[in-house]
């Protein structure tokens, strides 16, 4: 029995779960008796899929605006109707083509091009694969072959990434998700405008897996297999940290094909929120949406927050309606927290997790203000422990490798040969961290980022933390590199600001800044100046594209 399956543990987790979802309005009398009566049947039929959230939203608040995106506005009633129409089309595809099961791929940016297929999958059943929009033609060829995808929804802008030879896509029905201009081919818009096909949705769909793809910097991206949760106790962790309430209007910039954006979408639909989003992030447009739609929340990532803060004269936009900011995907540095607080107030909450293991810890705005180095409390339904290299659990205050398990953790990888490290039924997260005396988790670095210099542990994040306050630095990254004398040393990559301080920056001034604030073994050996850092579609730096690695 896994630690997360012990009855006493589940009981304690449930005791936190119910108050949190009640406060958020997920359990409410909105919609009257009819909506209340739909709760149990919807859970039995759809579990906690996107379809369930859409179905319940339509029962409780059918005319409330569900989505504002590049294609317009949809109410919850319309979102349900279009998701069900697309679901029926998928059922017809399975029957007409004699498919054993639906294996649905989606390569789309934020908007109905990804939300409708997620809803349709819940209604029709099958497996769904959320593909990274940075995937190359060769990676897509490998994904199609390894995962046997038979239906693909793809934005027009990515159509030229499809493998050129017909054999790679011969068994795939390709549907245009977001359409641009006059192109040939069936689109989601075409399907949902047609009269419903003569197929019934299954009463109890065969719910397959949700598969998210890693960034896949080399080779075929890893497919992370996650079950559709029956009782997502971790949801309470989000709602304890983020003051998200029923009926909020939320600007969603976090990419839905990534774990953070997908989970935020689920919370938004479960709280019957209005989701405001754009396919391509633009800082000025984001401010304008917050102002025009009087958004209550902004769900984004550190790189997008930085772009918003860097926008000239951003105080011309009224963001006073914002009650919370929520971020995940990258560490929130003390400097970024200070700047967001100065611009928006003390309302930033942080979610810590990974593609494989979803939510691991959550810090409320109050907790972030008290200690910006923490990532928060472990959520209900989650067991998180720290182990040393010999597999022994480490005491409070001692750094260890982070392992955890909860219901939203991966079941495995689509390629069974991909290794997964476990101890006591818990799965390794790939990070190093420690618990403080109050039980808050602190993350120091990736396990493979921490280096030893002259017998001393050096975490690149600590070097970045002191350099981000150096005048003239606009963006930076720190990483370990090989060294003939000490085996490893820190190197940094710096983007200068376009001002006098940026012009004065030199490799020696960067080293001196670190020398005056950290021990000698943290001083970077190499300082590289770049025009910009190479980042992937979710804003993470891709080290293999950096000079000197």
Nearest residue to 152 (alpha-carbon basis) of 137, 140, 139, 167: 140
- Which residues, including other chains, have CB under 8 Å from residue 279's CB and lie 6 or more apart? 69, 70, 109, 110, 111, 113, 155, 178
Nearest residue to 90 (alpha-carbon basis) of 109, 103, 107: 103
Q: Does 435 score more than 70 pLDDT?
A: yes
Q: Are 54 and 83 in contact (CB under 8 A)?
A: yes
Q: Are 456 and 519 in contact (CB under 8 A)?
A: yes
Q: Are 470 and 476 in contact (CB under 8 A)?
A: no
Q: Are 107 and 131 in contact (CB under 8 A)?
A: yes
Confidence of residue 288 (pLDDT cuts 50, 70, 90): very high
Q: Are 356 and 334 in contact (CB under 8 A)?
A: no
Mean pLDDT of 508-530: 92
Stated pTM of the model: 0.86
SS3 assignment, position 340: helix
Q: Residue 532: is it exposed, middle or buried by C-beta count within 10 angstroms (0-12/13-18/19+)?
A: exposed
18-22, 59-63, 99-103, 398-402: the lowest-pLDDT one: 18-22
Confidence of residue 174 (pLDDT cuts 50, 70, 90): very high
- Which residues, including other chains, have CB under 8 Å from residue 68's CB and lie 6 or more apart? 274, 275, 276, 277, 289, 293
Domain 1-22+245-445 CATH assignment equals 2.130.10.10: no
State the Cα–Cα distance between residues 244 and 297, nearest whole angstrom. 8
Q: Are 133 and 538 in contact (CB under 8 A)?
A: no
Could you give the percent of the chain with pLDDT greater than 90?
62
Confidence of residue 215 (pLDDT cuts 50, 70, 90): low
Q: Does 448 score more than 70 pLDDT?
A: no
What are 19's two structure tokens?
């108050």
Question: How confident is the model at residue 219, as a pLDDT?
Answer: 66
State the first-to-last Cα distance of the chain, in angstroms, to the nearest integer: 43
Q: Does 8 score more than 90 pLDDT?
A: no
Domain ranges of the chain: 1-22+245-445, 451-545
Q: Does 105 score more than 60 pLDDT?
A: yes
Question: How confident is the model at residue 396, as a pLDDT?
Answer: 96
Confidence of residue 230 (pLDDT cuts 50, 70, 90): confident
Confidence of residue 235 (pLDDT cuts 50, 70, 90): confident
- DSSP H or E run through 495: strand 487-496
State the Cα–Cα distance between residues 480 and 449, nearest whole angstrom. 7
Q: Are 467 and 473 in contact (CB under 8 A)?
A: yes
| Distance from the Cα of residue 237 to its chain's centroid | 15
State the Cα–Cα distance between residues 103 and 149, nearest whole angstrom. 5
Q: Does 217 score more than 60 pLDDT?
A: no
Domain 451-545 CATH assignment equals 3.30.300.30: yes
* Residue written as token pair 């107030």: 345
What are 463's two structure tokens?
């070097």
Better-predicted residue by pLDDT, 527 or 485: 527
Nearest residue to 23 (alpha-carbon basis) of 238, 237, 243, 233: 243
State the Cα–Cα distance between residues 430 and 403, nearest whole angstrom. 8
> What does residue 297 show for φ and ψ, rounded to 5 degrees?
-145, 155
- Which residues, including other chains, have CB under 8 Å from residue 67's CB and lie 6 or more apart? 73, 74, 79, 111, 112, 115, 274, 275, 277
- Please indicate whether the domains covering 1-22+245-445 and 451-545 agree at the CATH topology level: no
For residue 412, is it left (φ>0), alpha (ψ between -120 and 50) or beta? left
35-49, 87-101, 273-287, 494-508: the lowest-pLDDT one: 35-49
Confidence of residue 537 (pLDDT cuts 50, 70, 90): confident
State the Cα–Cα distance between residues 93 and 100, nearest whole angstrom. 11
State the Cα–Cα distance between residues 314 and 446, nearest whole angstrom. 34
CB neighbours of residue 269 within 10 Å: 25
Better-predicted residue by pLDDT, 124 or 380: 124
For residue 80, is it left (φ>0), alpha (ψ between -120 and 50) or beta? alpha
Confidence of residue 455 (pLDDT cuts 50, 70, 90): low
Q: Does 218 score more than 60 pLDDT?
A: no
SS3 assignment, position 529: strand
Please, what is the average pLDDT of the chain? 90
Mean pLDDT of 199-207: 91
Question: How confident is the model at residue 112, as a pLDDT?
Answer: 98
275-286 tens-digit pLDDT = 999 999 999 999
Question: How confident is the model at residue 213, as a pLDDT?
Answer: 86
What are 549's two structure tokens?
């690695």
State the Cα–Cα distance between residues 438 and 114, nearest whole angstrom. 40
Confidence of residue 330 (pLDDT cuts 50, 70, 90): confident
- What are the helix (H) ranges across 276-390? 283-292, 302-310, 334-344, 365-370
What are 547's two structure tokens?
């000079």
Long-range contacts, stretch 445-454, CB < 8 angstroms, 24+ apart: 447/401, 449/479, 449/480, 450/480, 451/480, 451/488, 451/489, 451/490, 452/487, 452/488, 453/483, 453/486, 453/487, 453/488, 453/489, 453/490, 453/521, 453/522, 454/486, 454/521
State the Cα–Cα distance between residues 191 and 169, nearest whole angstrom. 21
State the Cα–Cα distance between residues 71 and 417, nearest whole angstrom. 41
The string of DSSP letters for 242-258 reads S---TT-EEEE-S-TTS
Confidence of residue 14 (pLDDT cuts 50, 70, 90): low
CB neighbours of residue 471 within 10 Å: 13
Q: Does 216 score more than 70 pLDDT?
A: no
Question: How confident is the model at residue 356, as a pLDDT?
Answer: 81
Question: How confident is the model at residue 85, as a pLDDT?
Answer: 96
- DSSP H or E run through 34: helix 32-46
């Amino acid at each position: 029995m896994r630690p997360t399956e012990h009855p006493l543990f589940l009981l304690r987790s449930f005791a936190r779960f119910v108050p949190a979802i009640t406060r958020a309005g997920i359990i409410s009398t909105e919609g009257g008796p009819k909506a209340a009566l739909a709760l149990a049947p919807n859970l039995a039929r759809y579990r906690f899929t996107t379809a369930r959230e859409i179905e319940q939203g339509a029962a409780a608040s059918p005319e409330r605006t569900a989505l504002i995106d590049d294609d317009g506005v949809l109410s919850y009633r319309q979102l349900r109707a279009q998701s069900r129409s697309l679901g029926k089309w998928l059922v017809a595809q399975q029957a007409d083509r004699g498919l054993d099961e639906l294996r649905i791929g989606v390569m789309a940016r934020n908007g109905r091009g990804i939300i409708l297929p997620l809803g349709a999958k819940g209604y029709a059943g099958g497996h769904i694969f959320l593909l990274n929009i940075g995937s190359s033609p060769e990676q897509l060829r490998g994904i199609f072959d390894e995962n046997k995808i038979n239906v693909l929804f793809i934005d027009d802008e990515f159509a030229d990434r499809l493998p050129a030879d017909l054999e790679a896509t011969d068994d795939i029905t390709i549907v245009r998700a977001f359409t641009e201009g006059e192109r040939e081919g069936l689109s989601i818009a075409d399907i949902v405008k047609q009269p419903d096909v003569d197929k019934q949705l299954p009463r109890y769909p065969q719910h397959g897996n949700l598969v998210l793809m890693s960034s896949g910097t080399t080779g075929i991206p890893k497919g992370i297999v996650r079950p559709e949760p029956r009782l997502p106790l971790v949801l309470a962790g989000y709602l304890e940290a983020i003051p998200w309430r029923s009926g909020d209007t939320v600007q969603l910039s976090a990419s839905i094909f990534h774990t953070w954006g997908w989970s935020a979408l689920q919370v938004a639909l479960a709280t019957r929120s209005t989701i405001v989003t754009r396919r391509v992030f633009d800082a000025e447009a984001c401010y304008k949406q917050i102002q025009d739609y009087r958004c209550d929340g902004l769900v984004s990532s550190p790189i997008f927050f930085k772009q918003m803060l860097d926008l000239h004269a951003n105080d011309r936009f009224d963001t006073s309606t914002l009650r919370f900011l929520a971020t995940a995907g990258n560490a929130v540095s003390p400097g970024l927290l200070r700047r967001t607080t100065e611009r928006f107030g003390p309302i930033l909450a942080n979610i810590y997790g990974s593609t494989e293991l979803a939510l691991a810890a959550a810090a409320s705005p109050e907790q972030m203000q008290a200690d910006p180095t923490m990532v928060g409390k472990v959520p209900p339904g989650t067991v998180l422990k720290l182990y040393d290299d010999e597999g022994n659990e480490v005491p409070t205050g001692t750094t260890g490798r982070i392992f955890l398990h909860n219901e939203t953790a991966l079941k495995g990888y689509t390629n069974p040969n991909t290794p997964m490290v476990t101890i006591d039924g818990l799965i390794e997260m790939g990070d190093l961290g420690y618990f403080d005396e109050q039980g808050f988790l602190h993350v120091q670095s990736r396990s493979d980022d921490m280096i030893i210099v002259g017998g001393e542990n050096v975490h690149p994040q600590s070097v970045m933390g002191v350099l981000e306050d150096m005048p003239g630095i606009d963006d930076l990254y720190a990483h370990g590199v090989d060294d003939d004398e000490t085996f490893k040393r820190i190197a940094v990559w710096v983007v200068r600001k376009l001002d006098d301080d940026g012009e004065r920056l030199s490799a020696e001034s960067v080293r001196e800044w670190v020398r005056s604030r950290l021990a000698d073994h943290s001083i970077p050996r190499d300082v590289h100046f770049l025009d910009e850092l190479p980042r992937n579609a979710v804003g993470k730096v891709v080290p293999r594209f950096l000079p000197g690695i």
